[in-house]
Amino acid sequence: MKRVVFSVFGAVAVFAGVTPSAAGDRYADRPPVMVSPDLSAPWVLQLGNAPGIVRQNRQQQRLRTAQPAQPDRVQTAAVQAPAKRMVMRPQINPIYLPQEVAYDGTQKPGTIVIDTTQNFLYLVEKNGKARRYGVGTGKPGFEWSGTHKITNKREWPDWRPPAQMIKREAAKGRYLPTYLAGGIENPLGARALYLGTTEYRIHGTNQPWTIGGAVSSGCIRMRNEDVVDLYERVNVGTTVEVI
């Protein structure tokens, strides 16, 4: 009986490539054991994996059990996350980009003239010239005309919607804040030029695709980069004619 037992364990040792080692090497990492598919003896099946499977060493097993690989988590999240829908905004017509044009009006250089029918703002210059910008103007029912002075200038202005506007929009199911600090999300954009004692302003917008249309509640909208340019060219006291 002793001879049989020795013979079996000897076969295991030879098959697995086991050699005598010191006690300190018992838990050292070893190359994986390949189990051939043609070995189906019960003692082979007791190794813990079906024939043909590569067994991992203990350290690899502990690491995988304790902490799944990061790429697996990223891939799973990518599969589960819904695809983001891209919103394509219409491009501004190049005619509304700033440009130098001929101007034959009677206004003095330095005057701002806003044509609400063509949606252009002119900064009158010398020698029959003007710097022209595209603007967004009042939508139907909010058109107006008149002459005012610029009474204030603000960078990244705060927005306090008039009570009438808040009430009007609430009736449509759109609830406006009573106050919104200046910033990129603010509808007044990067700069604002205040007109007289009115609630109207020449200001930037975070919706540049609306330039060239009748879209506002009476204010004059400009692209942020354009209102910054105009802001640097005019001062408080500048005359603004809205026609």
Angle ∠(115,212,95) on CA atoms, nearest 5: 90
Give the integer Cα–Cα distance in Å for 88 and 96: 20
Say yes or no to pLDDT of 129 above 80.
yes
Give catalytic status of residue 203 as yes or no. yes
Give the phi and the psi of residue 167 in degrees, each rounded to 5: -65, -40
Say yes or no to pLDDT of 97 above 60.
yes
Say yes or no to pLDDT of 154 above 90.
yes
Higher local confidence (pLDDT), 12 or 184: 184
Say yes or no to pLDDT of 6 above 50.
no
Say yes or no to pLDDT of 24 above 60.
no
Strand partners, 61: none
H or E, element range at 212: none
Res 86: pLDDT: 60
Res 235: pLDDT: 98
Res 34: pLDDT: 52
Please count the other Cβ atoms lying within 10 Å of the Cβ belonging to residue 110.
Answer: 15
Say yes or no to pLDDT of 4 above 50.
no
Residue located via tokens 């050292």: 28
Give catalytic status of residue 219 as yes or no. yes
Say yes or no to pLDDT of 243 above 60.
yes
Tell me which of 203, 208, 227, 240 is the catalytic residue.
203
When mean pLDDT is compared across 15-24, 139-148, 182-191, 209-218, the lowest value belongs to: 15-24
Tell me which of 121, 135, 195, 219 is the catalytic residue.
219
Q: Chain-wide mean pLDDT for the chain?
A: 78
Average pLDDT over residues 192-198: 97
Res 92: pLDDT: 87
DSSP-derived letter for residue 1 is -
CA distances from residue 216 to 136, 158, 168 in whole angstroms, order as listed: 7, 17, 13
Say yes or no to pLDDT of 2 above 90.
no
When mean pLDDT is compared across 54-58, 160-164, 170-174, 219-223, the lowest value belongs to: 54-58
